[in-house]
Chains A and B, each alone.
Chain A
């Protein structure tokens, strides 16, 4: 098997091949490292790339297998980890200059679980500074490029993770998602992005740099099955995490068909002000659902229009974390987040409390609506990937600038699931005429993660999207 063929395997397939002795972890890891070396300089994929450590761990994984030791669910499989998830002894910067020399002494719980399952980290992926934006044009560690269109952003904040998943550098990329930072870059890079029910995956060791009450750690993968495996490995109650849920998700037998399932189509908010081609592709996906026998239920979610009210809480939470660093190192913050973080100091406590209570209105309404349908279906990102360095976005007849809050446009449709805590997934739905991927988002009720993944598997099969970017196809053709 060539290195390109090894890299193109799914996570489940490569795991099984290693377990069966058909491939060694060293060979698999070396193939991923080869790809990382090929793209890292131009694409700014990693903040800290650790190939030597990865190879050392891969050889140890092969020895363990040869010795007949029990194998974990990810034994010998290389993955990547976003640089705001703590890794003991390996610097973890959150994409920030102020944390350039920060080396955690402990692994995040999720890293402990991945290590225990036998996963091998290739390194820490680039991200939007402090996870506070959707471009991954990082002023300190470089602008990550989109594998489908290298002059464009990969989205963010888990942009390095999305690019690695797309470029077949590792078989899963761990990201974080406080407003859509897994699902939005997944949509823009043509991969799958999962944000499970809040509390099912521990956040201990995830740097709380922004909005800690809506944050999640989740995987970006090339298939729903691979995301499901990572969810299985990483979920579980963690008494050290005050947000951790002391209950498992509801079990769900794999669904055989989309026929008879009810999909809620929100008529307000989610389908408004979309890029024309994004709308066309997502409506085509809805039409395919109908053809497959699903029922589409038009509905309205009035409280979702209140989402901008979350601004006081996010501004205040981020300011509290950053205040000591802002005081001493203001110039070390990128310009796009510096003033936003500082402005959080003027948020009144009364408004923070109101925002937290207002969020409950959304939670209650979403919970109610999600008992009447099997899933909501929405576009994941309202717009496709934009050119690196863009200053405004034109949607319909509106020209949105940075000053008008454009920065949150990429996560406009993903943010409600964070505010409500319910699970959501982005799956590739197609490409624009310029070859830019578009994602469709599915949302289910809290703790119905397995049902979400089962529905997503069927939708993925229905769409039949090939997640291989043109640059890899060209390499394959030239080889």
Chain B
């Protein structure tokens, strides 16, 4: 993904009014996410339980 693609993605999802500098600053981290996403999607996770289990009644 390049800067323009990220700006297009943002326009669809959030419509932020960031400067090019801010978009450029985010780009390496978006790349990291995209790189790990591909591997994540290869895993057979459909029947794996989530690790996100909270106890009812908690207030934190």
Chain A residue contacts of B52, Cβ below 8 A: 213, 356
A127 on interface, CB distance cutoff 8 Å: no
A300 on interface, CB distance cutoff 8 Å: no
Chain A residue contacts of B33, Cβ below 8 A: 311-312, 315, 343, 346-347, 351
A99 on interface, CB distance cutoff 8 Å: no
Q: Check if B45 sits within 8 Å of A240, measured CB to CB.
A: no
Max chain A Cβ within 10 angstroms of own Cβ: one of B29, B35, B59: B29
Minimum distance in angstroms from B7 CB to a CB of chain A: 12
Q: Check if B50 sits within 8 Å of A356, measured CB to CB.
A: yes
Contact pick for A239, options B6, B29, B35, B57, CB 8 Å: B57
Chain A residue contacts of B41, Cβ below 8 A: 351, 354
Chain A minimum-CB-distance residue to B30: A343
Minimum distance in angstroms from A368 CB to a CB of chain B: 15
Q: Check if B36 sits within 8 Å of A244, measured CB to CB.
A: no
With A339-B22, A346-B30, A403-B28 as known contacts, state yes or no: A240 contacts B58, CB within 8 Å.
yes
Chain B residue contacts of A363, Cβ below 8 A: 51
Contact pick for A339, options B25, B50, B55, CB 8 Å: B25
Please report the C-alpha to C-alpha distance between residue A358 and residue B30 in the assembled complex, in whole angstroms.
20
Chain B residue contacts of A312, Cβ below 8 A: 33, 36-37, 40
Interface size class of B (residues with CB under 8 A): 20 to 34
With A240-B60, A342-B22, A346-B30 as known contacts, state yes or no: A357 contacts B55, CB within 8 Å.
no
With A306-B43, A338-B25 as known contacts, state yes or no: A356 contacts B60, CB within 8 Å.
no
Contact with A along B10-41 (1 / 0, CB 8 A): 10011000000010011011101101110111
Contact pick for A358, options B6, B29, B45, CB 8 Å: B45
Minimum distance in angstroms from A50 CB to a CB of chain B: 25
With A311-B32, A351-B40, A356-B51 as known contacts, state yes or no: A204 contacts B45, CB within 8 Å.
no
Contact pick for A309, options B10, B40, B60, CB 8 Å: B40
With A308-B36, A311-B33, A405-B32 as known contacts, state yes or no: A243 contacts B54, CB within 8 Å.
yes
Chain A minimum-CB-distance residue to B55: A242
Please report the C-alpha to C-alpha distance between residue A358 and residue B13 in the assembled complex, in whole angstroms.
26
Chain A minimum-CB-distance residue to B24: A339
A330 on interface, CB distance cutoff 8 Å: yes
With A312-B36, A357-B51, A358-B40 as known contacts, state yes or no: A204 contacts B29, CB within 8 Å.
no
Minimum distance in angstroms from A333 CB to a CB of chain B: 11
Q: Check if B60 sits within 8 Å of A340, measured CB to CB.
A: no
Chain B residue contacts of A309, Cβ below 8 A: 36, 39-40, 43
Max chain B Cβ within 10 angstroms of own Cβ: one of A244, A312, A339: A339
Please report the C-alpha to C-alpha distance between residue A246 and residue B43 in the assembled complex, in whole angstroms.
32
Q: Check if A361 sits within 8 Å of B48, measured CB to CB.
A: yes
Minimum distance in angstroms from B59 CB to a CB of chain A: 5
Minimum distance in angstroms from A288 CB to a CB of chain B: 36
With A241-B58, A346-B9, A354-B43 as known contacts, state yes or no: A213 contacts B51, CB within 8 Å.
yes
A37 on interface, CB distance cutoff 8 Å: no
Minimum distance in angstroms from B33 CB to a CB of chain A: 6
Chain A residue contacts of B25, Cβ below 8 A: 335, 338-339, 342
A359 on interface, CB distance cutoff 8 Å: yes
Chain A residue contacts of B45, Cβ below 8 A: 354, 357-358, 361
Minimum distance in angstroms from A203 CB to a CB of chain B: 6
Given contacts A309-B40, A360-B51, 10 further A-B contacts (CB under 8 A): A204-B59, A242-B56, A242-B59, A243-B60, A311-B32, A342-B25, A345-B14, A346-B33, A356-B52, A361-B45
Q: Which residues of B contact A (CB under 8 A)?
A: 6, 9-10, 13-14, 22, 25-26, 28-30, 32-33, 35-37, 39-41, 43, 45, 48-52, 54-60
Q: Which residues of A contact B (CB under 8 A)?
A: 203-205, 208, 213, 239-244, 246, 306, 308-309, 311-312, 315, 330, 335, 338-340, 342-343, 345-348, 351, 353-361, 363, 403, 405
Could you write out 21 A-B pairs with CB less than 8 Å apart?
A205-B60, A208-B60, A240-B59, A242-B56, A243-B54, A243-B58, A244-B55, A244-B58, A306-B39, A335-B25, A340-B29, A343-B26, A343-B29, A343-B30, A346-B10, A347-B33, A354-B43, A357-B48, A357-B50, A358-B48, A360-B50
